[in-house]
Amino acid sequence: MSERLDQAIAFATASHAGQVRKLAGSPYILHPLEVCTIASTLTSDEDILIAALLHDTVEDCNVDPREIRLRFGPRVAAPAQSESEHKLSDRPPADTWMERKEESLLMLEHTKDTGTRILWLSDKLSNIRSFYREQLKSGDAIWQALNQKDPQMHRWYYQTVADYLTEFKGQAAYEEYTMLIEKTFGGKK
């Protein structure tokens, strides 16, 4: 492991200190570590692996994107920030869910950056794994813990991401992702 990757792990761990995942209640840092692990099955590009570790620090930890750029460089900062949603904090998160998702999907649809696309697949696979595990434990009650309560809206979002990332068809991460969409949401569209 390189010194830069070690520094990114330490930075992400410090940034997410005390945070827990909404559904599982597990330490939040386990999610970026999983995203990085998934990304490592798709690329050995250290900048993308570091971006995977840092992808939630801007949105969830109020880390200034300039700090990521200064510490780790622009090739890390751009993909790391690509998934940061504008919180639209003047309204409740449940009221802005669709607007935020549509805006982020627009960015994904138009980006040509392979690293950003790898990061998206890695993050969404980690998330859908979490949904699937929690649904096995709690059934459809899991959706009540989220800003968007309708599981079919989540299906729409995760399926749209899959539709935009078809260049990864045949890769284990993509195949697992699409399989878990079906297992989590069933055949209903």
Residue 64 is among the residues annotated as catalytic for this protein: no
**Of residues 59, 67, 85, 176, which has the active-site annotation?**
59
Helix axes 65-72, 46-54, angle to 10 degrees: 150
**Of residues 45, 46, 60, 176, which has the active-site annotation?**
60
Q: Are 83 and 114 a contacting pair, CB within 8 Å?
A: no
DSSP string for 137-186: HHGGGGGGGSS---HHHHHHHHHHHHHHTGGGTTSHHHHHHHHHHHHHHT
Residue 60 is among the residues annotated as catalytic for this protein: yes
Report how many helices (DSSP H) and strands (DSSP E) the chain contains, helices first.
10, 0
Active-site positions read: 59-60
